[in-house]
Amino acid sequence: MGISEKMGDVLSQAVEAKLFREVMEHDIQPKHLAIIMDGNRRFAWRSNLATHVGHRIGKQRLEAVLDWVLELGIPWFTVYALSTENLNRPEKELKTLFKLYIDGLKSIADDPRIHENNVRVQIIGHRDLLPKDVNDAIDYAESETKDYGDFVFTVCLAYGAREEMIRAIQNIADLHAKGDLPLESITQDTVSEHLYTAEMPDPDLVIRTSGEERISNFLLWQMAYSELYFTDVFWPSFKKKDLLKAVQTYQMRKRRFGE
C-alpha cells in the first residue's frame, strides 16, 4: 500500500470516527432500523463476478452491519432478505440463496456476539413457501435465541407486505364472522396486532441500497410514518460511514407524523 493510500485510509477512519461521535451524541436515536438490502446481483455483474459471489459478499456485509447496529445501540433491526416475488428467480440462484440462509442462520445462532448482546433472532414471512432445510435452520436460530430481548434481529424471508395484510384481513374477518370481534372494535391497532410484526414497533428509519427509490412490497402498513433514506451504494459495498450518514440524516429530520 502506497503512502497516498495509507493517508486516504487514515482520513477515512477519522471521518468515520467523527460521524460516529456525532450520531451517538445526538438526542434523537432510532429505536427500529429497517434495511432493504438491494444490489447483490448488480454488484457482481459490474465487478465481473458470478451472481452467487455477489450474494455471498452480501451475506458477509449483513454480518458487519449487524455489528454496527449493535454498536449504535439500536434495539430493533429488520432486513428484507427475500421477497415472495424473489421466489420466481431461477432455481439455481434460489438454491444458492437458500444455502446462504441456512449457513447464515446456523452461524448467527452459534455466534458468541449474539449471546453476549442478548440478541433475539426471528424470521417473518410466508414460511410455507420455503424448503424444509431452511425452516429447520429458522427453528434452530429462533430457539437458540428465544430468551433474549435486549436486541431483536428480524429477517424477512419469503415476505410480501400485501400478502401479510391479506392474511391479517382474513384473520380479522374470521373473528368478526364468529362474533368474537364487533365491527366497531376493528381499529388500526387491531390490524397491527394481526401482522407478522405484531410485537414490534414500526420502523423509524428505512434504508434502501442500490439507487432504487421504491419500497417493493416491504412493511407497507408499518412504514406509514417511517423516514426513508435511499443510497446509490450496492449492498455488498455498504460501509459503516454509509450507515452513519443515514442515521445522521434521520436525526436531522423533523418527524411530523402527519401533523
The one-character DSSP state at 202 is: P
Has 118 been annotated as catalytic?
no
Has 139 been annotated as catalytic?
no
Element (H, E) at 189: helix 188-193
Residue 80's beta-bridge partner residues? 36, 156
Backbone angles phi, psi at 74, to 5 degrees: -85, 115
CB burial class (10 A; 0-12, 13-18, 19+) of residue 36? buried
The one-character DSSP state at 158 is: E
Q: What is the DSSP string of 204-225?
A: SEEEE-TT--S-TTSSTTTTTT
Q: Helix 240-252 vs helix 51-72: angle between axes, to the nearest 10 degrees?
A: 50
Q: Which of 86, 117, 135, 217 is catalytic?
A: 86
Q: Which three cell numbers stand for residue 28?
A: 434523537
Q: Which of 38, 202, 204, 242 is catalytic?
A: 38
Residues labelled as active-site residues:
38, 86
